[in-house]
Amino acid sequence: MGNRALRKKLAQVIREVGWDAKLYYGNKHQAWRYLRAYTMREIIHLLSFKKGDLAHDCDGFNHVVKEPMLSYHRWHGQTLVPQISQLEFEDGRYSCGCPGGPMPACSREEIERYFTMTDEQVKERKTAGWWSQRDEKIHEALRSGKHICDERGVLLKEFADADASVFTFSSVSS
């Protein structure tokens, strides 16, 4: 698909969302210079997620989309191009903004297979300092045959506690 076709598709997607279909504000030449094929594909991809859709984020779980966050790219002080910076999820998280952005939802089996680790992998992660209390809870639940997410792939509440982001550095060698 060439750039002209991408511009038309992007304008159509923006109109469907209900935003102004104009793809630039200010200097048209600078705006089209900024809107390269990669940027247009990225905007189209992020606008494909609607409110209530499931999106798979880099934390390994699916999340329910609350709304896309609109921002405007500025070039030499002029507001030029509307773009999606990230997605806001219903659980209060925002998408991380990794290249490629959030992906389509994964199944429960794929998510649990991703989090299943051998004892040797657990030992390596603990030695490296990349092991948290949440990781421990998830590992123990999977070993005992429990599910860590619901049928949609959304993390269960018992694993989404406040200690999830706090890493416990055990036996880190100096």
By DSSP bridging, strand 103-104 and strand 62-75 are: unpaired
Each domain of the chain, given as residue ranges in start order, spans: 3-104, 108-165
pLDDT one-digit tens code per residue, 30-60: 666 667 788 788 888 888 888 899 999 888 8
pTM of the model: 0.74
Per-residue pLDDT tens for 100-149? 568 889 999 999 999 999 999 999 999 998 888 888 999 999 999 999 99
Q: What is the separation of C-alpha 133 from the centre of its chain, rounded to a whole number of angstroms?
A: 23
Q: Where are the beta strands (DSSP E) in the chain?
A: 54-56, 62-75, 78-89, 103-104
> What pLDDT, on the 0 to 100 scale, is given for residue 112?
94
